[in-house]
Amino acid sequence: MSGQVETFDVVVVGAGPAGLASAITLGSHGVEVLVIDKRLAPSTLPRSTTASTGTMELLRRWGLEGAARERAMDVALHPWATETMAGADAGQAVDAGFPTREQAALISPTAPAALGQDELEPLLEARARSLAGVRIERGVELTALERPSEGGYLLALAGPRKRQVRARYVVGADGPRSRIRQELGIATEGSETVAERLTVHFRAPIWNLVGDRRHVIYFLTGEQEGESFLPAGEPDRWVFALPWDASKGDSDRPTAALMKRWIRDAAGDPGLPVEIERSIPVTFGIGLAERFRDGDTFLIGDAAHRVTPRGGTGLNTAIRDGFDLGWKLGWVLRGWAGDDLLESYERERRPVAEFNTERTARPDGSILPTSFGLNADIGGRIAHVWVARDHGLVSTLDLLGEGLTLFAGPDWDGSVPRGYESAPVAVERLDAITAVGLGLTAEGSMLVRPDGRPVGLWNLGGGKPSVSGHASSALASR
């Protein structure tokens, strides 16, 4: 080891969606953050291709919604079941837990988007790098994690040079084979093999076959069970997935000619021009860490909960993890809350992780009523209601800041509840109809956390509401 030991408030191990989401959120609180990743660049594979309602609400919060829409594919966010791509007109829609554009307009200021991880990660990384307190270093790997007697953590890093850094908190966002989780000795429960697939990345003019039936994924109902097509990017990037024995060696890998034949047969067009880019055998597994926290080290994303691609929950759950932990760490580091707020991270995120892990282990995990999918994605936050402001209409969700927000009816004459003075509180006056939309009387008020979860509701009016107990305990859902 050489050089001076640098100190950071937080070190995030892993610059995937979860790690970048936590870095953006921490950076917005002025926290000094170091993000390391052994990868030299963001993902070049689409991996996940769906940004949920909750993810798009966060991108909107971070000023990235417009850029994300520009990169997204213009497709319906529910799957389409069809015998072949050429016969898409005879297919039918499948409910996978994502709202339609019309449904989304009723519940959110934004809507889900078909956005590949290779398009999303660069947006998140650029936003994180724009924040003064955030430093991202690629080609750097964690080799050891120690907890000195004087407190905090000492991390040994390897990369262009070997060195050590200190951190008050450590966030493990380093994927299903998390080094952080290994260093902490945290076990996982699950199955390494739930399903096996061969994913073939290729280019072909398949949009010409489906016409107006443009969807985020196509489940094929022909003779070969378990095949699917996924659009991976404009104009003609696609993924063809089929069941596969992942134990087969390279010598058993299908030739380009054979894969082209498979794609043409499944597409229903024997003359389809196909350009194979790569084929990747993939083993889908699930795993849930026995705990998400050890001391002042936390697990988020795939390090905490590994899921299969069924239902498109992995990336979206990871991003929400990063945001949830990020604002809570930011509050503690700024002195707005005590350590007990951090105890709520696992308490609030584990039920979502458990639900999605169990769901994606099922063969029918991609099929789920929209109401259930939304509960896991945005459940618990306040309602989206349009509010008139001088510069136009904004959503009640747009009014949430880094601190607390007190929504107040037009006749409210109270004050900020006692016990919350350590965190900044922004008061947002509402007209009578908007107040009703949030469940408030004209004299009522509601105190809301940065993630949209209500802390307290007072509808009696005629006085100054107060809350007993410590603010951190009240802020943390029990």
Q: Is the pLDDT of residue 462 over 70?
A: no
Residue 473's pLDDT is 57
pLDDT band of residue 468 (cuts 50, 70, 90) is: very low
CATH code assigned at 147: 3.50.50.60
Mean pLDDT computed over 371-387:
91
How far apart, in Å, are the Cα atoms of 211 and each of 149, 215, 218, 425? Answer: 65, 11, 13, 51
> Do the beta carbons of residue 91 and residue 109 sit within 8 Å?
no
What are 279's two structure tokens? Answer: 């084929």
Co-location of 302 and 364 in the same domain: yes
Using alpha carbons, list the distances in angstroms from residue 157 to 6, 34, 140, 238, 411: 12, 12, 7, 38, 57
- Boundary-marking domain end, from 352, 378, 404: 378
Domain count, the chain: 2
For 21-55, write each residue's pLDDT tens digit: 999 999 999 999 999 999 999 888 888 889 999 99
Exposure of 464 by Cβ count < 10 A (0-12 exposed, 13-18 middle, 19+ buried)?
A: exposed
Same domain flag for 470 and 401: yes
**Are 322 and 461 in the same domain?**
no
Same domain, 328 and 461: no
* Identity of the residue numbered 418: R
SS3 of 26, please?
helix
Residue 241 belongs to a domain: no
Residue 124 has pLDDT above 70, yes or no: yes
Kind of pairing between the strands at 141-146 and 275-289:
unpaired
Q: How confident is the model at residue 248 (pLDDT cuts 50, 70, 90)?
A: confident
Could you give the percent of the chain with pLDDT greater than 70? 95
Any domain includes 356: yes
- Tokens 């170091």 identify what position? 34
- Residue numbers of the domain that contains 393: 386-475
Report phi then psi at 169, rounded to 5.
Answer: -130, 150
| Cis, peptide link before residue 112, omega less than 30° from 0 | no
Kindly state whether residue 255 falls inside one of the protein's structural domains.
no
Q: How far apart are CA 179 and CA 384, in angstroms?
A: 39
* pLDDT tens sequence across 178-232: 999 999 999 999 988 888 999 999 999 999 999 999 999 999 998 888 899 999 9
Residues facing residue 289 across a β-bridge: 188
Residue 98: inside a domain, yes or no? Answer: no
Supply the pTM of this predicted model. Answer: 0.93
By C-alpha distance, which of 265, 214, 272, 216 is closest to 88? Answer: 214
Residue 333 sits in the same domain as residue 392:
no
Confidence band (pLDDT; 50, 70, 90) for 470? very low
In a domain, 281, yes or no: no
Q: What is the pLDDT of residue 403?
A: 96
Q: Which residue has the tokens 């021009």?
A: 273
Listed residues 347, 378, 409: the one ending a domain: 378
The tens digit of pLDDT for each residue in 339-353 reads 999 999 999 999 999
Note whether residue 274 is domain-resident: no
**Co-location of 36 and 152 in the same domain:** yes
- Do residues 422 and 469 both lie within one domain? yes
Q: How does strand 425-429 pair with strand 404-408?
A: parallel
Top-confidence residue, 252 or 456: 456
The pLDDT of residue 478 is 54
Question: Angle at Cα 131 formed by Cα 126 and Cα 132, nearest 5°?
Answer: 135
pLDDT of residue 170: 98
**Element spanning 404, H or E:** strand 404-408
Average confidence score pLDDT of the chain: 92
pLDDT category at 2 given cuts 50, 70, 90 is: low
Q: Is residue 433 part of a domain?
A: yes
Q: Classify residue 202 as left (phi > 0), alpha (psi -120 to 50) or beta.
A: beta
Same domain as 399, residue 301: no
In total, the chain counts a number of residues equal to 478
**N-terminal to C-terminal alpha carbon distance within the chain:** 44
Cα–Cα distance for residue pair 367/79, rounded to 1 Å: 9
Report CA dihedral (33, 34, 40, 44) to the nearest 10 degrees.
-20
- The predicted pLDDT at position 474 comes to 60
Cα gap 216→356, rounded to integer Å: 19
pLDDT at position 469, please? 37
Q: Is the pLDDT of residue 150 over 70?
A: yes
Within a domain: residue 263? no
Q: CB neighbours of 27 closer than 8 A, spacing ≥ 6? A: 33, 128, 131, 132, 133, 134
Cβ within 8 Å of residue 472, ≥6 positions away? 337, 338, 339, 340, 341
Q: Tell me, what's the pLDDT at 251?
A: 67
Are 170 and 299 in the same domain? yes
Q: Do 145 and 57 share a structural domain? A: yes
Looking at residue 415, which CATH number applies to its domain? Answer: 3.40.30
Distance CA(373)–CA(95), nearest Å, equals 10
Q: Does 418 lie in the same domain as 372?
A: no
Looking at the fold, whether 446 and 373 belong to one and the same domain comes out as: no
pLDDT band at 3 (very low <50, low <70, confident <90, very high): low
Domain stop point among 378, 409, 426: 378
